[in-house]
Amino acid sequence: MKTLYTPEMAVIKKVIPQTPLETFFELELTERKTLGHKPGQFVEVSIFGLGEAPISVSSAPEPDKPTFELCVRKVGNVTNALLEKKVGDKIGIRGPFGNGFDIAKFKGKDILFIAGGIGLVPLRSLILAVLNRRPDYGRINVLYGCKTPRDLLFKGELKSWECGGSVECLITVDLGDESWQGDVGVITTLIPRVEIDEKKTQAVIVGPPVMYRFVIRELKSRRLPDANIWMSLERKMKCGVGKCGHCQMNDIYVCQDGPVFNYAELKKIPESI
Amino acid sequence: MKQFIIKKPKLFELIDKLARETTVIAPVKQENFTSFAPITSAAEIVWGAPQTVIPPKQFLYPQSEDLLAYEFGNGEARITGLNAVKERVLFGVHPCDLNAIGQMDRIWAEKNPDANYLEKRKAITLVGVDCLAPCSSDAICLRLNGLDPKGRFDLFLTDIGSAFYAEAATKKGEALVEGLRAPAKAADGKRLTAVQKKRTALFDKQEKKLLPKYKDLSKLMKANIDHPVWEERGKLCYGCGSCNMVCPTCYCFDVQDYMHVSLVKGVRSRVWDGCMTEEFAKVASGENFREDRSHRLRHRTYRKLNYLYDKWGESFCTGCGRCVKACLTKIVSPLEIANEIYSRKI
């Protein structure tokens, strides 16, 4: 009997270490053509014998592409074991889960992506989807903050987006090293440097829980309306199907009704940020 | 709903027969407490008090339940089948628990139907028995709309003296007592009404009063998210999760993998989890999204009296009183919390 909790098998096609902590995986489902996800959705990755962990999908939805991508930080039992896996190994996958970003809402708008640390992983899915249809959007800025230069993800890609001239990226680290020539400071220090059109700009924020309030305050000081602020929240998504209760904030199941929220709605949820 | 009269000896004979032929689960005495367990004869059944420590939901949604089984071969895992669900009779369920099961039926079936629950539910014949006196001083069922079973059973029995007055809400309930039932007459209906009236008066006298109106509970909660009661009671909470474990409408779970000692096979199980425990909303990075005990107490109470109340139109505390008894520091009673908020306006 196949149930809500039965994973499908997926083969690992590529493994690319990104940082000392994070590794990039390309996966292909064995029984389905594509994952069929939206940007901002997540999957439950299953290591048999250990359990499951919720991981954001990092690739853009492309109907003809059989593979999808994850970028995983080793932080618990499941992710530690996942990072031991090699090309050709199989793992379990359930999903995609969650609402994801409604990309249609960004059409014709300027988009300000704000990523903190591993928050770039889910955001990359949306950034790539937007870049796939670049003419549909206005100005695109990416603000990205990390602890140290060693923690920067998708370094090559950030450069290629910028070099293409289609995106402006600003990167900052909390703590530089001898070779770091760029900005040092928290992510909010980058916000005054971007142009914000309160009618046109849509800000999309993904980062650690502590980041949201500070970033939103900064955006509000630039008069950006609540409805133009989007974010994806982290919670303990255990079942992914709105049953197990772990991801709940007030009466909202983040795994079903989130993880993507608009700030105008989020303001009504006291346990959200 | 069809009404019948069943003579007591006939019913006991039926239970004996069912216990021989299939699995009958009923409240039985175990040392100094009562629990639901398979019986071999009707003589083992504990009627009325005391309430079982663990609610009968355990037979629909077990404390630990395998979601999948797998084997390893050639370096990869292969998902294997689980055991089929067996037909069972769940007998002697109190109205509070019938309501809770009715509520769980809605929860597990909505949006993403949970086959693990629904298959077991389908294979259960649910026989309720009415309470003629409060099962303990902790019971608050009359106050929280849990004493009227609202048709959430296959068969429901009320002891009217020499016989049981039986109501069948389903064909399954009717079929169970086929051959030993007689149609209820007007006089039987009168006896039932008299028994129920006396019973309700007794509950009303003995149960703690609910000060706000039942229909206002959800609004009252919503308006008092910052009431000092959460902090005052929350700071006494041990975070043990006992209230969650004994609750007939708590349904949160954790998922865990267990490898067989041979290391060639394993199972993935779901086990009951409790939102009152410290770990509940903590993620691998160490971030805890509901770290404060007072917020956890508020979350649990809101689930019962606000979130699910608003969604489904009824309190998801059915007043069984188990959490009131189980709570080590006596802080968790939804009725007491509601009363305190009601009497101490902020």
Per-residue pLDDT tens over the stretch A160-183: 888 777 899 999 999 999 999 999
Residue B1's pLDDT band, with cuts at 50, 70 and 90, is confident
Cβ–Cβ below 8 Å for A235 and B67: no
Task: Tell me how close the Cα of A1 comes to any Cα of chain B, in angstroms.
Answer: 7
Cβ atoms within 10 Å, residue B328: 12
Confidence at residue B258, expressed as pLDDT on a 0 to 100 scale: 95
Mean pLDDT of A81-108: 95
Confidence at residue B84, expressed as pLDDT on a 0 to 100 scale: 82
Cβ–Cβ below 8 Å for B281 and A235: yes
- In 3-state terms, what secondary structure has residue A157? helix
Is residue A60 within 8 Å of A128, Cβ to Cβ? Answer: yes
Q: Residue A35 pLDDT > 90, yes or no?
A: yes
Task: Tell me how close the Cα of B303 comes to any Cα of chain A, in angstroms.
Answer: 7
ipTM rounded to 2 decimals: 0.92
Interface contact B299, partner A, CB < 8 A: yes
Which residues have C-beta within 8 Å of that of residue B199, sequence separation ≥ 6?
Answer: B130, B131, B132, B133
Nearest by CB to residue B255, choosing from A1, A52, A250, is A52
The pTM for the full model equals 0.94
**For testing the chain A interface, which of B277, B280, B285 should be mutated: the one with the most A CBs within 10 Å?**
B285
Cβ–Cβ below 8 Å for B287 and A3: no
Handedness of CA A158, A160, A162, A167 (dihedral sign): negative
Q: Residue A129 pLDDT > 80, yes or no?
A: yes
- The fraction of chain A above a pLDDT of 70, given in percent, is 100
Is residue B323 within 8 Å of B301, Cβ to Cβ? Answer: no
Q: Residue B283 pLDDT > 80, yes or no?
A: yes
CA distance to A185, A223, B156, B160, B249, per residue, from B164 (Å): 76, 71, 9, 6, 28
Mean pLDDT of B318-328: 97
Interface contact B339, partner A, CB < 8 A: no
DSSP state of A207: -
Indicate the residue type of B280.
Answer: F
User: What tokens does A183 get?
Assistant: 């900005």
Residue B188's pLDDT band, with cuts at 50, 70 and 90, is very high
Cβ–Cβ below 8 Å for B268 and A48: yes
DSSP state of B148: S
Confidence at residue A161, expressed as pLDDT on a 0 to 100 scale: 85
Cβ–Cβ below 8 Å for B289 and A75: no
Mean pLDDT of A9-16: 97
In tens, the pLDDT along B10-19 reads 999 999 999 9
- In 3-state terms, what secondary structure has residue A21? coil
Alpha helix segments (H runs only) across chain B: 8-21, 95-109, 115-122, 171-176, 186-206, 217-222, 228-234, 242-245, 293-302, 308-312, 322-326, 334-343
User: What tokens does A123 get?
Assistant: 């955001």
* B96 bridge partner residues: none
Q: Residue B83 pLDDT > 80, yes or no?
A: no
Task: Tell me how close the Cα of B68 comes to any Cα of chain A, in angstroms.
Answer: 7
Confidence at residue B49, expressed as pLDDT on a 0 to 100 scale: 82
Instruction: Point out the least confidently predicted range of A240-244, B166-170, B181-185.
Output: B181-185
Is residue A160 within 8 Å of A132, Cβ to Cβ? Answer: no
Cβ–Cβ below 8 Å for B270 and A244: yes
* B158 bridge partner residues: B165
Cβ–Cβ below 8 Å for A239 and B283: no
B155 Cα distance to chain centroid:
17
Q: Got the DSSP string for A42-59?
A: EEEEEETTTEEEEEEB-S
Cβ–Cβ below 8 Å for A244 and B255: yes
Task: Tell me how close the Cα of B280 comes to any Cα of chain A, in angstroms.
Answer: 6
Q: What share of chain B is helix, strand, coil (3-state, %, to 5)?
A: 35, 25, 40
The values of phi and psi at residue A172, to 5°, are: -135, 155
Contacts of A241 in chain B (CB under 8 A): 111-112, 114
Instruction: Point out the least confidently predicted range of A51-60, B176-185, B258-267.
Output: B176-185
Strand A110-116 to strand A140-146: parallel, antiparallel, or no bridges (unpaired)? parallel
Element (H, E) at B265: strand B265-272
Indicate the residue type of A123.
Answer: L
Is residue B43 within 8 Å of B241, Cβ to Cβ? Answer: no
- Domain spans in chain B, listed from the N-terminal domain onward: 2-61+81-208, 215-251+274-343
In chain B, which residue's Cα lies nearest the Cα of A3?
Answer: B115
Q: Chain A residues contacting B, CB < 8 Å?
A: 1, 3-7, 9, 48-53, 75-76, 79, 89-90, 92, 208-209, 234-236, 238-239, 241-246, 248-251, 256, 270-271
Task: Tell me how close the Cα of B224 comes to any Cα of chain A, in angstroms.
Answer: 12
Contacts of B70 in chain A (CB under 8 A): 48
Interface A-B, measured as beta-carbon pairs within 8 A, has a size of 117
Is residue A70 within 8 Å of A18, Cβ to Cβ? Answer: no
Task: Tell me how close the Cα of B260 comes to any Cα of chain A, in angstroms.
Answer: 9
Domains of chain A (ranges; CATH) run 8-97 (2.40.30.10), 103-232 (3.40.50.80)
Contacts of B76 in chain A (CB under 8 A): 9, 89-90
Nearest by CB to residue A251, choosing from B67, B68, B307, is B307
In tens, the pLDDT along B113-167 reads 999 999 999 999 999 999 999 999 999 999 999 999 999 999 999 999 989 999 9
* A11 bridge partner residues: A28, A90
Mean pLDDT of B34-41: 96
Contacts of B285 in chain A (CB under 8 A): 75, 208
Interface contact B255, partner A, CB < 8 A: yes
Mean pLDDT of B244-271: 95
Confidence at residue B196, expressed as pLDDT on a 0 to 100 scale: 96
Task: Tell me how close the Cα of B284 comes to any Cα of chain A, in angstroms.
Answer: 6
Cβ–Cβ below 8 Å for B282 and A241: no
Task: Tell me how close the Cα of A244 comes to any Cα of chain B, in angstroms.
Answer: 4
- In 3-state terms, what secondary structure has residue A193? helix
Q: Residue B68 pLDDT > 80, yes or no?
A: yes
Rounded to whole angstroms, the Cα distance separating A114 from B117 reads 42
Q: Residue A89 pLDDT > 80, yes or no?
A: yes
Rounded to whole angstroms, the Cα distance separating A93 from A114 reads 28
In chain B, which residue's Cα lies nearest the Cα of A239?
Answer: B255
Per the listing, tokens 């041990």 go with B238
Cβ–Cβ below 8 Å for B77 and A208: no
Q: Which of B238, B230, B315, B244 is nearest to B275 (CA)?
A: B244
Is residue B246 within 8 Å of B54, Cβ to Cβ? Answer: yes
